[in-house]
Amino acid sequence: MASDSALTQILTQLNALQVSHQALQAKLDLMSNPPSPQSSPLSRGSPIPTGHHSPNGQNLLLSSSPLASKSVLAPAVPTIAALSEHKDAPSDKEREKLLYPGRVLLTTYPDQHGYKPFTLNWGAPDPSVRGPVIPSRLPSSIKQRNALGAHSGSYSIYRALAIAMGTLSPSHKPDYSQTEPPVSIPPQPAWADPHKIVSFDPWGHLVPQVFRKEVEELGLDVRPSIAVTRAHMKMSEIDDAARKGDITIDGKVVLKSRPLMNPDGTVSDLDPGVEVNISKAAVEPVWYLPGVAERFGISENLLRRALFEDTGGMYPELITRPDIKVFLPPIGGLTVYIFGNPALLSDESKELTLRVHDECNGSDVFGSDICTCKPYLTFAIEECCRCAQRGGVGVVVYFRKEGRALGEVTKYLVYNLRKRGGDSADKYFKSTELIAGVKDMRFQALMPDVLHWLGIKKIDNMVSMSDMKYDAIVQSGIPILKRYDIPEHLIPPDSRVEIDAKIAAGYFTSGKQITQADLIKTVGRTWEETEH
Q: How far apart are CA 96 and CA 107, in angstroms?
A: 20
> What is residue 37's predicted lDDT score, i.e. its pLDDT?
42
Asked if 321 is an active-site residue, the reply is: no
Torsion (CA) 191, 335, 311, 133 in degrees, nearest 10: -40
Q: How far apart are CA 500 and CA 432, in angstroms?
A: 16
CB-based contact 324:147 (threshold 8 Å):
yes
Domain boundary residue, one of 302, 328, 354: 328
> Number of C-alpha atoms within 13 angstroms, CB side, residue 173?
9
Torsion (CA) 157, 163, 164, 165 in degrees, nearest 10: 110
Residues 165 and 279 grouped into a single domain: no
Q: How far apart are CA 517 and CA 502, in angstroms?
A: 14
Total number of domains in the chain: 2
Q: How far apart are CA 509 and CA 485, in angstroms?
A: 6
For the chain, the residue count is 532
> What is residue 274's predicted lDDT score, i.e. its pLDDT?
97
> What is residue 144's predicted lDDT score, i.e. its pLDDT?
95
Residues 146 and 262 grouped into a single domain: no
203-225 pLDDT per residue, tens: 999 999 999 999 999 999 999 99
62 belongs to a structural domain: no
Residues 199 and 336 grouped into a single domain: no
> What is residue 522's predicted lDDT score, i.e. its pLDDT?
65
Residues 323 and 370 grouped into a single domain: no
Asked if 442 is an active-site residue, the reply is: yes
Residues 278 and 302 grouped into a single domain: no
Domain boundary residue, one of 297, 328, 359: 328
Closest Cα to residue 225, out of 443, 407, 384, 449? 449
156 belongs to a structural domain: yes
Task: Point out which residues pair with 482 in neighbouring strands.
Answer: 461
> What is residue 442's predicted lDDT score, i.e. its pLDDT?
82
Q: Which of 201, 221, 423, 440 is catalytic?
A: 440
CATH number at residue 348: 3.40.50.10990
Q: How far apart are CA 276 and CA 236, in angstroms?
A: 12
Backbone angles phi, psi at 424, to 5 degrees: -110, 155
Domain boundary residue, one of 328, 352, 382: 328
Strands in 313-469 per DSSP E: 326-328, 334-339, 352-358, 393-399, 459-463
CB-based contact 74:24 (threshold 8 Å):
no
3-state helix/strand/coil string of 140-206:
CCHHHCCEEECCCHHHHHHHHHHHHHCCCCCCCCCCCCCCCCCCCCCCCHHHHCCCCCCCCCCCHHH
Q: Which of 442, 467, 518, 525 is catalytic?
A: 442
At residue 74's C-alpha, the angle toward residues 70 and 76, to 5°, is: 145
Residues 268 and 386 grouped into a single domain: yes
CA 85 to chain centre: 38
Q: How far apart are CA 264 and CA 243, in angstroms?
A: 26
492 belongs to a structural domain: yes
Domain that holds residue 455: 230-284+331-530
CB-based contact 151:207 (threshold 8 Å):
no
Closest Cα to residue 364, out of 354, 382, 377? 377
180 belongs to a structural domain: yes
Q: How far apart are CA 179 and CA 399, in angstroms?
A: 24
Residues 205 and 241 grouped into a single domain: no
398 belongs to a structural domain: yes
Q: How far apart are CA 237 and CA 199, in angstroms?
A: 33
247 belongs to a structural domain: yes
> What is residue 480's predicted lDDT score, i.e. its pLDDT?
97
Backbone angles phi, psi at 338, to 5 degrees: -115, 125
In terms of phi and psi (left: phi > 0; alpha: psi -120 to 50; beta: otherwise), the region of 254 is: beta
Would you give the DSSP letter of residue 133? Answer: -
Residues 278 and 292 grouped into a single domain: no
Instruction: Give SS3 for 246.
Output: coil
346 belongs to a structural domain: yes
Residues 154 and 207 grouped into a single domain: yes
End-to-end CA distance of the chain: 62
Instruction: Give SS3 for 289.
Output: helix
Residues 262 and 399 grouped into a single domain: yes
DSSP 476-513: TT--EEEEE---GGGS-GGGHHHHHHHHHTT---SS--
6 belongs to a structural domain: no
Closest Cα to residue 293, out of 390, 194, 419? 194
Backbone angles phi, psi at 437, to 5 degrees: 85, -5
> What is residue 316's predicted lDDT score, i.e. its pLDDT?
96
Residues 198 and 263 grouped into a single domain: no
Angle, helix 156-165 to helix 92-99, in steps of 10 degrees: 120
DSSP 414-442: HHHHHHHH--BGGGHHHHHHHHHSSS---
Residues 319 and 349 grouped into a single domain: no
CB-based contact 352:359 (threshold 8 Å):
no
Instruction: Tell me the mean pLDDT per 10 residues along the chain, length 532.
Output: 55 53 49 44 36 34 30 38 56 85 86 92 96 93 95 92 90 92 96 96 97 94 97 96 95 96 94 96 98 96 96 95 97 96 97 96 89 92 98 97 86 84 75 83 92 98 93 96 90 76 72 67 61 44
